[in-house]
Structure 1
Amino acid sequence: MATSVVVVGGGTAAAQPDGNRYVSLGDSFTSGPNYDPFGGCPQLPYAWPKQFAAQWGLGNDWFDASCSGAVVDGRGTNTFGQQIDAASRSMGSRTELVTIQFAGNESYGGSGRSAAWSVGLCVLDFVNGCDNAADPTSVRPDAITSAELQRRLTAGDSGNIIGRIRQEAPNARIAIVGYPTVLPSDTSVCLPINGLEVPDFQPRAAYARTVLDRIEVAQRQAAAALGVEFWSLRQATAGHDACQPLGQRWITRIGDFHEELLPFHPTRTGYGAQANALTAYRTR
């Protein structure tokens, strides 16, 4: 039977009758934070799924449905429901692995902002900082729970994502992929201003770290409860957060004009490091 070409956003894959060996679902930390005003999902040519698939030696025998801004709960042009619909054409008995990188774009506890926006805005607000707990539009860290992530993956607006993967790719490993180390371990965040380094631009960033830590814990616990794998990137990217010197940091920030990415996302080197770490998980 002749193969066909499936296109989602910037990705292409030769769809096999019994599925592709690997399928990727994810947000901008997977696809790269490209934006298409016409509703497409452009993917960076060096985003980690492409490097990961190359290290695996898959050729075109894989499919990447990831999209910047994707959410599980919520309506819009970029949803995991749309991703799983597109990926279903590439899942089958041959599929060996499906990865899911999500949780940062979700809103929790009735907040008006996503976790990602809440973190970004508090870091950049040098007046109120991250201590403005009275802001009702920001995500409450205690609302980011394992139970909530489980619900979203099985009964959220995007449907039963885990159930569909198990049904359509019965032989595949399923792995929830965590996020890399974005901020330093202390409570401050650096920022370049007019070309000068300000190491403690935001000395009250404990809230931002707490949100990111809660996401990691919730992902790990949800994966265990759902009977899928959790592939953490924290240890593999430790010491390379956004406040490290140029050449050592693997996360972009405002002022990194040498990178064609939005702030607080992986650099080219960072995507490569993530691919290496995920290859280690796959082969163990």
Structure 2
Amino acid sequence: MRMRTGFGLAAVASCMAIAAAVTVGRDGGGSPPRLAPPKGPYVALGDSYTAGPEIPGQYGRPVGCERSDRNYPALVAAGLGLRAAGFRDVSCSGAVMADLSAPQSTDHGVNPAQLSALTTATRLVTLGIGGNDIGFGSLITTCVRSGVKYQLEKRIGDGTADRAPCRGRYVSDGTDEVEGKTEAAGGGLAGALDDIRRRAPGARIYVVGYPAILPAEGTDCTAMGLAPGDVDFLREKERQLNAVLRDKARAAGAGYVDTYAPSTGRDACADPDVRWVEPLVPAAPAAPAHPNERGERGMADAVLRTVGAAD
């Protein structure tokens, strides 16, 4: 997902573009022996699901990254008792794998490669990335447009309306375009984790998965403007991405933070007072289809639970 385009009510009606993004999940295997949580230095890497666009309060370095001082890295740092000198958050909205090792351009300037924040003194690294690499923002945009068409056809009584029109645009003749991009993102993650290990050999590294954007079951999701079958399709694509992130993390000897399981029932279609992810028209300060402050807190709790255990 090249993460982040504002999405207001008028934009929903006209199907303008929306950017959605990526985070990380927890290793669900067994009950590993406990380790003392690392005390820093801590470096947070990632895209807009890490940065927290439109969540107060926003601050300007790196430029154009729309990072909040209430995002999950900031809350993790506070939970670990780290002072400012022991914590660096270089996450940036719109980041893809390539932005980890090369400068990232934004609407307001160019930021250094995220991995340049790492040193041999770094003791904790979290990484939430991958959604922009599979084009999840454009995927949601396309599916919303298809959903509007489906609703119009349904309204005029067209009994032949395709219940999953978006799926048909990405899956045909046995080829799944999104699945191919997901596999490629996994390869990019494997390389990034090797680079992180080389730059910060003493660090504990955790890949943070994405929280539930859509309901874990069923297709009732009016707030996202999707055709019923495309709710299933997008849910499947997110789960596939999280599975690849988890598997590549484990293969590299890194931890995985599962934010999907604890966010089940708290997706963008849940009631406003419980949801972690805002719908297309946010009711709380957050970018559309992105975590709100409650979601960032939930993700931070998942990270803190995980970093207290051995990989």
Aligned partner (choices 44, 69, 91) of residue 24 of structure 1: 44
Secondary structure in structure 1 of the residue aligned to 2:44: strand
Code of the aligned partner of 2:105: T
Partner residue of 2:243 out of 217, 221, 229:
217
Q: What's the counterpart of residue 180 of structure 2? A: 143
Deviation at 1:39, TM superposition (A): 5.4
1:24 is paired with a residue whose SS is strand
Q: Aligned pair in 2 of structure 1 residues 210, 180: CA closer, same or farther (>3 Å)?
A: same
> 1:99 and 1:122 mapped to 2: Cα distance?
31
User: Could you tell me the percent identity over the aligned residues?
Assistant: 28
User: CA deviation digits over 1:64-115, x for unaligned, max 9?
Assistant: 1100010114885169981112x13xx223x2211110110013xxxxxx12
Alpha carbons 2:189, 2:248 under 8 Å: kept:
no
Of the three residues 269, 272, 278, the one matched with 2:303 is 278
Instruction: Give the secondary-structure state (helix, strand or coil) at the position aligned to 2:229.
Output: coil
Distance 1:274 1:99 in 2: 12
Of residues 192, 203, 209 in structure 2, which corresponds to 1:161? 192
Q: Could you tell me how far 1:164 is from its partner in structure 2? A: 2.9
Q: Does 1:261 align with 2:298?
A: no
Distance in 1 (alpha carbons) for counterparts of 2:167 and 2:298 = 35
Task: Indicate if the aligned counterparts of 1:183 and 1:189 stay in contact, CA closer than 8 A.
Answer: no
Number of residue-to-residue matches in the alignment: 242
Could you tell me whether the CA contact under 8 Å between 2:170 and 2:178 is conserved in 1?
no
Of residues 105, 114, 117 in structure 2, which corresponds to 1:77?
Answer: 105
Alpha-carbon distance between aligned partners in 1 of 2:218 and 2:141, rounded to the nearest angstrom: 14
1:178 equivalent in structure 2: 209
Give 1:204 shift.
Answer: 1.9
Find the aligned partners of 1:190 and 1:240 in 2 and give their Cα distance: 12
How much does 1:163 deviate? 2.9
Do the aligned partners of 1:144 and 1:215 also contact (CA within 8 Å) in 2? no
What aligned pairs does 1:1-284 form with structure 2 within 5 A after superposition? Answer: 21-33=41-53, 40-60=64-84, 61-73=86-98, 77=105, 82-85=113-116, 87-88=117-118, 91-93=119-121, 95-107=122-134, 114-126=135-147, 127=149, 130-135=164-169, 140-145=177-182, 148-154=184-190, 160-192=191-223, 202-205=227-230, 206-256=232-282, 258-284=283-309
How far has the Cα of 1:137 moved from its partner?
A: 11
Q: Which residue of 1 aligns with 2:27?
A: none
Structure 1 SS opposite 2:138: helix
* Equivalent residues of 2:280, 2:288 under 8 A apart: yes
Determine the C-alpha separation between the residues in 1 that align with 2:292 and 2:83.
Answer: 24
> How far did residue 187 of structure 1 move?
4.7
Instruction: Extract unaligned runs of 5+ from structure 1.
Output: 1-18, 108-113, 155-159, 193-197
Q: Does the CA contact (< 8 Å) of 1:52 and 1:275 recur in 2?
A: yes
Cα 1:201/1:161, change in 2 over 3 Å? closer
Does the residue aligned with 1:98 lie in a helix, a strand or coil?
A: strand
Distance 1:214 1:144 in 2: 11
1:11 corresponds in structure 2 to: none
Give the conservation status (yes or no) of the 8 Å contact 2:211–2:260.
Answer: yes
C-alpha contact 1:150 1:226 (8 A) present in aligned 2 = no
| Higher helix residue share | 2
Q: TM-score, normalised by structure 1?
A: 0.75
SS in 1 for 2:222: strand
* Matching residue's letter, 1:131: P
> What CA distance in whole angstroms lies between the structure 1 residues aligned with 2:45 and 2:220?
30
Q: Distance in 2 between matches of 1:201 and 1:20?
A: 43
| Contact 1:71/1:80 (<8 A) preserved | no
Q: CA deviation at 1:249?
A: 1.2
